[in-house]
Structure 1
Amino acid sequence: MDTLGTVLVGLAILVGIAGIIVPILPGSLLVWIAIVVWAVVVAEPAAWAVLVAATVVYGATLVVQYAIPGRRLQRAGVPGRAMLLGFVLGVIGFFVIPVLGLFVGFVLGVYLHELARHRTHEGAWTATVHAMKAAGLSILIELAGAMISTSLWVAGVVLT
């Protein structure tokens, strides 16, 4: 792969990482796709090894980013319906208030669901805080997976 192609793949990876931090794009998926494109174009054994390793990291990240926060939410007694309503209002909020609406809508959705369930501000807010911590942990896990994949790609670029 020529220098321009490598730079473009690197930029796609950076956009993917930015998409994880500010959830606008499917960040991890974009990082993985960029590595797939790079490996296919380079078509050397080291590139294929990087792709296999990045695929394993991507798959493990997908499982872990939902399993660990989900288990914490389950222990805290926050139902999945609250997270689903938070997600739906987050998506709506994203279009109403660009970028920040995602976070505002998520918090509002979880809070409203839990307020209806608990009937007290304290109970609803406690559950909302647990949901926000779980969402933050999920983002950190996804970011860690993307950074590991990016490091593998950089090593592959150096080796090829």
Structure 2
Amino acid sequence: MNETLITIVAGLVMLIGLAGVVLPVLPGAVLIWGAALGYGLLAGWGESGGWLFGLITLLGLAGLGAEIWVTGTGAKMAGASLWSLLAGLGLGLVGMVFGSLPGAVAGLVLGTLTVEYLRRKDWDQAVKASLGTLAGYGLSYGVKLVIGLMMIAAWLAWVVIG
């Protein structure tokens, strides 16, 4: 297969993956990683391909963990318990299935709010914990976007350097 065509297809799949960083219906980091793997298998690894693919893999793993870690950090800073965060993440997954991004956000907030209220019997604290969780969730998108861009930059270096 033509190396130029392989490069173009891999780049387009990576751009779709970058969109998936923001749209939870697409596995963003996984698509970017898979495109890099496909590029290596089809176009060859070259001198630096193995090392740069290793970097892309590590960045991809960091991207997968970023959403949970950053969301959890925001929740903890606002006083949310582990149980409320787990309930929020669980309802967020259910919401994502039924309502895409708005459903995921609504489930995350509703789960955190409900468990925090049941735990503390204080609406102000429950709302504060929910807002902290929401802020962490929003920040996680920025972190995942930067990681996705770093993965693509490593791949571009691989394409240029060889």
Q: Same fold (TM over 0.5)?
A: yes
Alignment of 1:26-45 (within 5 A): 26-43=27-44, 44-45=46-47
Deviation (angstroms), 1:67:
4.5
1:140 to 128, 131, 142: 142
TM-score (norm 2): 0.83
Q: How does 1:93-112 map to 2 (within 5 A)?
A: 93-112=95-114
What does 1:81-160 align with in structure 2 at a 5 Å threshold? Answer: 81-160=83-162
Is 2:74–2:137's contact at 8 Å kept on the other side of the alignment? no
Which residues of structure 1 form unaligned runs of 5+? none
Secondary structure of 1:28's aligned partner: helix
How many angstroms apart in 2 are the aligned matches of 1:37 and 1:113?
44
Q: What does residue 56 of structure 1 align with?
A: 58
The RMSD of aligned alpha carbons is 2.2
- After TM superposition, the runs of 4+ consecutive aligned structure 1 residues lying more than 4 A away are 60-69
Matched residue type, 1:42: A
Change (3 A) 1:127 1:23: same
For residues 104 and 69 of structure 1, the distance between their equivalents in structure 2, rounded to whole angstroms, comes to 14
- The answer for the alignment partner of 1:4 in structure 2 is 5
Find the aligned partners of 2:66 and 2:20 in 1 and give their Cα distance. Answer: 19
Cα shift at 1:100: 1.7
- What amino acid maps onto 2:53 in structure 1? L
- State TM-score, norm by structure 1: 0.84
Q: What do residues 51-71 of structure 1 show as CA deviations (whole Å, max 9, x unaligned)?
A: 122123234445565545544
Going from structure 1 to structure 2, the CA distance change for 1:13 and 1:129 (only over 3 Å counts) comes to same
Q: Which moved more, 1:35-44 or 1:71-80?
A: 71-80
Gaps of 5+ in 2: none
